Amino acid sequence: MPEAEGVTQPNPTPSAPALSHEQHIARMIRQQGGRGDALIEVLHQVQELEGYLSPAALRQVASGLSLPLSRVQGVASFYHLFRLKAPTPHRCAVCLGTACFVNGGADLAKALERRLAVRLDDAAGDGTWALQHVSCLGACGQAPVLVVDGVMQTRLPVDAPDALQQRLTEAGLPPAAATAAGEPW
């Protein structure tokens, strides 16, 4: 998934003179021949460029593909992987697929909520970190797993709290808020 690929960084264009996002998007639309059935592909590329689908980009895609804005908005809001708001700089995705669930994925999600002091699936997070769930990363043999800023962490020791916190620190998660007296909720 996009998290695993770390696609939130805008693509650098080393050789060509720097194009504005608008010019980039125009080129993506041209490359798809302006065909309306390429909408999902174009939205993927726009999100890769900008990190999310901004209202301006959606308007440009609609006119470029000769589609009503309502249709573009409808598709963009339907699919889980499209983001309509700018993502937080750091993101953590915890797998709640069945194999991870059986191996303590829900407890892992709770531990992450406590450590990051954010709510699961609140895209705004604390402004720096956000925690989301994913339904299966396909690494079922390594369950339970999570992805921190695009890097997958496998076989997390959910039953050993200290070892778990140590692994989370190594994965780059910030330490639990020192001021928090007990659990935030």
Partner 1 sequence: MVSAAPPLRIRCCGASGCRSAGSEALQQALEQAAAEIAAAGGAGAVPAIKPVGCLRLCGRGPLVAVDRADGGSELYGGLQPQQAKTLLQPQRQALASAAIATDHPFFSLQQPVVLENCGRVDPGSIDDAIAHGSYVQLRRVLEGVSPEQVREQVKRSGLRGRGGAGYPTGLKWDTVALQPPGPRTVVCNADEGDPGAFMDRSVLESDPHRLIEGMAIAAYAVGADQGYVYVRAEYPLAIARLRLALKQARARGLLGPQVAGSRFALQLEVRVGAGAYVCGEETALLASIQGQRGTPRPRPPFPAQHGLWGAPTLINNVETFSAVPAILRRGGDWYAAIGTASSRGTKVFALSGAVRHTGLVEVPMGTSLRTVVVEMGGGSPTGRAVKAVQTGGPSGGCIPAPLLDTPVDYESLLALGSMMGSGGMVVMDETTAMPEVAHHFMRFSRNESCGKCLPCRAGTVQLEQLLARFVERRARPDDLARLEELCTMVRCTSLCGLGQAAPNPVLSTLRHFRGEYEAACRDPAICEPHGACRLPAATSPGGEP
**Interacting residues with partner 1 (CB under 8 A):** 1-2, 4-5, 35-41, 43-44, 71, 74-75, 78-82, 96-99, 101-103, 106, 134-143, 145, 152, 154
What is the distance between the alpha carbons of residues 3 and 91, in angstroms, rounded to a whole number? 8
CB 99, min distance to partner 1, A: 4
CB 47, min distance to partner 1, A: 9
Nearer to partner 1, 114 or 133 (CB): 133
Nearer to partner 1, 167 or 174 (CB): 167
Task: Provide the phi-psi class of 143: left if phi over 0, else alpha when psi is between -120 and 50, else beta.
Answer: beta
Nearer to partner 1, 5 or 183 (CB): 5
Is-contact 112 94, C-beta < 8 A? yes
Return the C-alpha torsion angle 165, 166, 170, 175, nearest 10: 50
CB 181, min distance to partner 1, A: 25
CB 122, min distance to partner 1, A: 15
CB 105, min distance to partner 1, A: 9
Nearer to partner 1, 46 or 128 (CB): 46
Nearer to partner 1, 87 or 97 (CB): 97
